[in-house]
């Protein structure tokens, strides 16, 4: 029996790819602006998930740990042991700010859509 983990991980990644396709379809073809808005939020979440998936790694003999030291290190050796078992923290740091700023930008977009409806009396775009 070969290692099933790469297969399962590929399932996760391909599901994310499918989500990208479905949400882009929603953005392009659905007539309602609100539906385009919902699809766009799904699209941005999916792209963030890709960044997180790139930061994941595998560790021999155990499950990888989060990028957080659980106690104050007493000797330099503990630090290299931590680095050999933890996941990549850089994509997480980039996605962290992207999510919050994305929320603020989506709120701005929601305000614009509400104004559009006030002006034209509909949210249909086509």
Partner 1 sequence: MRIREVVIAVSVALVVLLLAYVIEAGGLGPIAPRELRELAASYLVNAYNPWNVTQSALSLEAVTAIVWDYRGLDTFFETSVLFASIVGVSLVFRGYRERLGIGGRGLSEIVKTSTRVLLPLILIAGVSVALHGHLTPGGGFQGGSFIAVLLVLMSIVFSLDFVVERGLTSGRLLALRSVGLIGVLATSVALLAAGLALGVEAYIFQNVAREGSELSMPQWLLDRPTGGTLIFFNMFEALAVAAGLALAFLVLSLREEEVREALGVGEWYE
Partner 2 sequence: MEVVPISIAAAAALLSVAATYLAVRSGDLLAAVVLSAVQSVAYALIYYILMAPDIALVYIPVSVGVLPAVTVLLIKKTERYEV
Task: Using alpha carbons, select from 52, 41, 39, 47 the residue that is nearest to residue 16.
Answer: 47
Q: Using the minimum distance from each CB to partner 2, give the nearer residue, 76 or 121.
A: 121
Q: Using the minimum distance from each CB to partner 2, give the nearer residue, 5 or 72.
A: 5
Q: Using the minimum distance from each CB to partner 2, give the nearer residue, 82 or 87.
A: 87
Site string for partner 1, 79-118 (x = CB under 8 A): xx-xxx-x-xxx-xx--xx-xxx-xxx-xx-xxx-xx--x
d(CA 95, CA 18): 21
**Residue 81 contact, options partner 1, partner 2, none, Cβ 5-8 Å cut-off depending on partner type:** none
Number of residues lying near partner 2 (CB under 8 A)? 58
Cα dihedral 48, 49, 51, 55, rounded to 10, equals 140
d(CA 44, CA 47): 5
Q: Using the minimum distance from each CB to partner 2, give the nearer residue, 79 or 114.
A: 114
Query: Any residues with CB less than 8 A from the CB of 117 and at least 6 apart, and which?
Result: 33, 123
Q: Which residues pair with 41 in a beta bridge?
A: none
Query: Any residues with CB less than 8 A from the CB of 32 and at least 6 apart, and which?
Result: 123, 124, 125
Query: In angstroms, what is the minimal distance from the CB of 65 to partner 1?
Result: 10
Query: In angstroms, what is the minimal distance from the CB of 50 to partner 1?
Result: 8
Binders of partner 2 among 22-81, rule CB under 8 A? 22-23, 25-26, 30-35, 37-39, 41-42, 45, 48-49, 52-53, 55-56, 58, 61-68
């Amino acid at each position: 029996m070969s290692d099933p983990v790469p297969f399962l991980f590929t399932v996760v990644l391909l599901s994310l790819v499918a989500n990208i396709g479905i949400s882009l379809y929603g953005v392009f073809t659905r007539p309602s602006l609100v539906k385009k808005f919902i699809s766009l939020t799904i699209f941005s979440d999916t792209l963030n998930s890709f960044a997180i998936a790139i930061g994941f790694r595998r560790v021999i003999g155990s499950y990888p740990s989060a990028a957080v030291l659980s106690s104050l290190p007493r000797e330099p050796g503990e630090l290299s042991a931590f680095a050999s078992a933890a996941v990549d923290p850089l994509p997480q740091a980039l996605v962290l700010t992207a999510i919050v700023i994305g929320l603020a930008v989506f709120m701005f977009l929601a305000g614009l859509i509400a104004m559009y409806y006030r002006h034209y009396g509909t949210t249909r775009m086509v």
